[in-house]
Amino acid sequence: MLTDDLLALQRLDTAIDQDVFRRDHLAERDSATAAADALAAADRRRAAIDARNAELDEAVAALERQGATLQQQRTRLEAQLRTITSARQAEALEHELSTLAAHRDELDDQELAHLDEQSTLAAEAEQLDAGRADLVAAASAAAAALGAVEGELDAALNSRRTERDEVAGRLDAAILERYERLRARLGGVAVGALDGGRCSGCHLDLSSAELEAVRATPVGEVADCPQCGRMLVP
C-alpha cells in the first residue's frame, strides 16, 4: 500500500540518517584519533630531537675546529714571545694572547652549553623511546575498538539500505522524486503521519476543513500537509 510504503521509507531513511550520524560521531573515533595523535606527536618530537642533536654535533665540531685554530695561533704567539726583547712588542703579544684566551673561554662555554642541551635531549629521547611501545599499543587497541563498532554499524546500515531499496522500488517514480525533493528541503523528513488532528512532521494542528481534505485524498495519491508541505499520510 502506498501510504504504508511511504511511512516505511521514511522510517528507514530516518534510521539510516541516525546511524550515519552516530558513525561519524563515535566516542571510539575520538579515542582512536587521540591515541593516534599522541603517537604521532611523540614520533615528531623524537625526530625533532634527532634533528637538533645533529645540529648540535655540527656546532660542537665547528667550535672544536675554531678551538684548534686558536690553539695554533696561541702556540705561534708564545713562540714569538720567547724570541723578542722589546717590551712594547711583548706587551702587544701578551694582549693578543689574552684576547685569544678570552675567545677560547667563550668557545668552551658555548660547547658546554651544547653538551648540556644534548644531555637533556638524550634523557628526553630515552623517555620517549621507553614509552613508545605503550603509545603504539594504545593506538592499536583504540583503532581495533573503532573498527569493531564501525563494523557493527556498517552491517546494520547495509541491511537497512537493502530494505530501503526494496521499499523505494515499490513506489512510483514521480512519488519517489517528490519524496526525495521534500527530504532535501525539510531536514530529512518528507512524510508525516496524521496523529489525530496533528501532522507528526511539523506537530501543528490542522483545521477541520484541512483534515477533511486530507482524509478525502483519493487512493493512490498523497496529500500535502497544509502547514509544512510534507506528504501527509492519514
Same domain (yes/no): 99, 155: yes
Same domain (yes/no): 66, 114: yes
Q: What percent of the chain has pLDDT over 70?
A: 100
Q: Is residue 145 in a domain?
A: yes
Q: For residue 183, is pLDDT > 80?
A: yes
135: Cα within 13 Å, side-chain hemisphere = 17
**Pairwise CA distance, residues 98 & 53, whole Å:** 33
pLDDT band at residue 219, thresholds of 50, 70 and 90?
confident
pLDDT band at residue 170, thresholds of 50, 70 and 90?
very high
* Domain carrying residue 214: 175-233
**Pairwise CA distance, residues 178 & 193, whole Å:** 17
Same domain (yes/no): 152, 185: no
Helices (H), the chain: 2-24, 27-83, 87-169, 173-185, 208-215
Quick one: cell of 11?
Answer: 522510517
Q: pTM for this structure?
A: 0.72
Same domain (yes/no): 50, 151: yes
Same domain (yes/no): 60, 156: yes
Q: What percent of the chain has pLDDT over 90?
A: 76
> Which region among 140-154, 177-191, 197-211 has the lowest average model confidence (pLDDT)?
197-211
Q: Tell me which long-range contacts 104-112 makes (C-beta under 8 A, separation of at least 24).
A: 104/67, 104/70, 104/71, 104/74, 107/63, 107/66, 107/67, 107/70, 108/67, 110/59, 110/63, 111/60, 111/63, 111/64, 111/67
Q: For residue 186, is pLDDT > 90?
A: yes
Q: For residue 78, is pLDDT > 90?
A: no
How large is the average pLDDT for residues 133-161?
97
Same domain (yes/no): 111, 164: yes
In a 10 Å sphere around its CB, with 0-12 CB exposed, 13-18 middle and 19+ buried, how is residue 9 labelled? Answer: buried
> Which region among 23-37, 103-117, 218-232 has the lowest average model confidence (pLDDT)?
218-232
Same domain (yes/no): 51, 99: yes
Q: For residue 216, is pLDDT > 90?
A: no
Q: What is the pLDDT of residues 81-110, one digit of tens each?
A: 888 878 888 889 889 989 999 999 999 999
Same domain (yes/no): 165, 185: no
Same domain (yes/no): 186, 166: no
Same domain (yes/no): 119, 212: no
If one counts the domains in the chain, the total is 2
How large is the average pLDDT for residues 24-29?
96
**Pairwise CA distance, residues 234 & 222, whole Å:** 9
Same domain (yes/no): 218, 161: no
Q: For residue 79, is pLDDT > 90?
A: no
Q: Is residue 18 in a domain?
A: no
How large is the average pLDDT for residues 28-52?
98
Average pLDDT over the chain reads 93
